[in-house]
């Protein structure tokens, strides 16, 4: 198969993800000359091409990324094909739309239960040969269903042609975790059991589930973001660095680390549900779905033996922030007496909404006493031209680069870790909006307590 695709086929073009993320990403690729090919939007209902172009333009304007010359170019490349996912013959319309393209990339932003139909129908119409299939999470709802989904897709596309998106892996700030470790040996040598007391990762959102309530109630916080996004961040922080980014080295390293994460038990989890959640349209009135979760992970390898990794995620929390906080072990130096014992150093890696890398360090206070005070050395970067996750990931799929895509073995390892505590394995505790979850979460706090981001 050629390294580069020659047509972009987009299933789910009328959906919310397309409007908010994908159309801006496609324009960004086109602006850089990376999307010089037919762009075929696929939906269930007939739609005039002018109406599709209007929707694309509205998306770009609302995202603040509209660029008139690029939009004009994309408009000329844009086509529409109405298909019935239950009718393989209707997929002929896609063949007609891509013309003579031999190596299309099929991006599927649809519910997972439709993945298999799209793959099988594409194969039936000769659209799988030399092509790639890109699918969005969730990849199943447990280990068994994740395996079943993979087996179904493999009937139509070989493993090397399957690209499974976890958009968190395409975020600049998550990529920077690996680069920061690899390029700064002073920190990399300390990221181990000898130097680290604990690691905590927080993904907090001030908003609730409006617009996603029906879907969210079927999955909950743990399946929605812990099994994928948060465990991938754990892997990037804790894996042994690969010797090369080539030959699947990065994905091998992430998968190996996840295989060493111990399966969770009920004692490792506290679940919460924000008050008023069951009043949302689409939510079952007796729902026990969690909108908050605090979890404790252990990695069974020599590097991280005894170091707990804490993850906290939730809706309707005080701030919208994602960050990792590495707390190093405290100083044990006789020259520091009881009166002046300094707090432990900490490394803070903010993943969003804006990137921050900060080191908590101690310095002596002015004066005669040999006592100190805490300071934070902060490195920030704000680049309006920063490549967004979907631009990076879709561009990589077009080019055949899979390093930032989730691989099936890593997905299965993550489900192995999560499976024992999903569903009603643990109780769900109520919490108020704009708080850091239920009081019970404090029972699962890291040494020194949670480091609440601000």
Which positions are annotated as active-site residues? 229
Q: Which residue has the tokens 């922030």?
A: 321
Alpha-carbon distance of 157 to 160, in angstroms, equals 8
Residue in the block written with tokens 């026990």:
288
The dihedral built from the CA positions of residue 397, 398, 403 and 409, taken in this order, carries a sign that is positive
Q: What is the Cα–Cα distance from 262 to 60, expressed in whole angstroms?
A: 44
243 vs 265: CA distance, rounded Å: 34
CA 51 to chain centre: 32
Convert 357-382 to b/e letters by CB count within 10 Å (16 or more is b).
bbbbebeeeeeeeeebeeeeeeeeee
| Cis before 138? omega within 30 | yes
What would the 3-class secondary structure string for 349-414 be? EEEECCCEEEEEEEEECCCCCCCEEEEEEEEECCCCCCCCHHHHHHHHHHHCCCCCCECHHHHHHH
Element (H, E) at 96: helix 92-98
Q: Report how far residue 210's alpha carbon sits from residue 208's, in angstroms, rounded to the nearest whole number.
A: 6
Residue 24, by phi and psi: left (phi above 0), alpha (psi -120 to 50) or beta?
alpha
Closest C-alpha among 349, 315, 295 to residue 187: 349
Paired tokens of 85: 């996912």
- As a whole number of angstroms, the distance between CA 57 and CA 43 comes to 18
Other residues' Cβ atoms within 10 Å of the Cβ of residue 241 = 12
Task: Find where tokens 């890291």 sit.
Answer: 446
């Amino acid at each position: 198969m050629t390294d580069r695709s020659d047509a972009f086929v987009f299933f789910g073009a009328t959906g919310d993800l397309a409007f908010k993320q994908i159309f801006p990403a496609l324009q960004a690729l086109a602006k850089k000359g990376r999307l010089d090919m037919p762009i075929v939007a696929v939906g269930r209902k007939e739609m005039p091409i002018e109406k599709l172009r209007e929707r694309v333009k509205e998306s770009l304007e609302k995202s603040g990324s509209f660029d008139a010359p690029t939009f004009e170019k994309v408009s000329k490349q844009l086509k529409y094909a109405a298909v019935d996912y239950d009718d393989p013959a209707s997929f002929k319309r896609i063949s007609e739309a891509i013309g003579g393209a031999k190596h299309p990339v099929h991006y599927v932003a649809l519910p997972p239960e439709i993945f298999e139909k799209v793959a099988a129908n594409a194969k039936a119409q000769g659209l799988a040969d030399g092509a790639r299939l890109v699918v969005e999470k969730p990849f199943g709802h447990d280990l068994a269903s994740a395996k079943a989904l993979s087996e179904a897709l493999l009937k139509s596309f070989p493993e090397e042609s399957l690209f499974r998106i976890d958009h968190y892996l395409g975020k600049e700030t998550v990529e920077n975790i690996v680069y920061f470790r690899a390029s700064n040996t002073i920190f990399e040598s300390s990221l181990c059991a000898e130097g680290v007391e604990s690691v905590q990762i927080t993904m907090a959102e001030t908003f609730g589930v409006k617009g996603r309530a029906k879907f969210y109630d079927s999955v909950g916080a743990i399946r929605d973001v812990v099994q994928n996004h948060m465990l991938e961040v754990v892997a990037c922080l804790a894996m042994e660095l690969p010797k090369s980014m080539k030959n699947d080295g990065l994905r091998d390293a992430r998968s190996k680390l996840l295989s060493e994460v111990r399966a969770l038990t009920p004692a490792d989890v506290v679940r919460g549900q924000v008050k008023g959640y069951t009043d949302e349209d689409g939510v079952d009135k007796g729902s026990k779905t969690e909108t908050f979760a605090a979890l404790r992970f252990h990695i069974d390898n020599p590097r991280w033996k005894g170091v707990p990794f804490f993850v906290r995620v939730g809706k309707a929390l005080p701030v919208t922030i994602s960050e990792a906080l590495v707390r190093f072990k405290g100083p044990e130096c006789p020259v520091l007496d009881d009166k002046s014992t300094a707090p432990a150093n900490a490394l803070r890696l903010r993943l969003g909404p804006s990137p921050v890398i900060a080191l908590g360090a101690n310095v002596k206070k002015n004066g005669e006493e040999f006592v100190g005070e805490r300071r934070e050395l902060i490195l920030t970067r704000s680049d309006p031209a920063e490549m967004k996750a979907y631009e990076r990931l879709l561009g990589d799929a077009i080019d055949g680069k899979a390093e930032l895509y989730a691989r099936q073995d890593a997905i299965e390892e993550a489900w192995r870790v999560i499976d024992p505590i999903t569903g009603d394995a643990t109780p769900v505790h109520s919490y108020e909006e704009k708080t850091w979850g239920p009081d019970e979460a404090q029972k699962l706090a890291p040494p020194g307590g949670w480091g609440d981001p601000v």
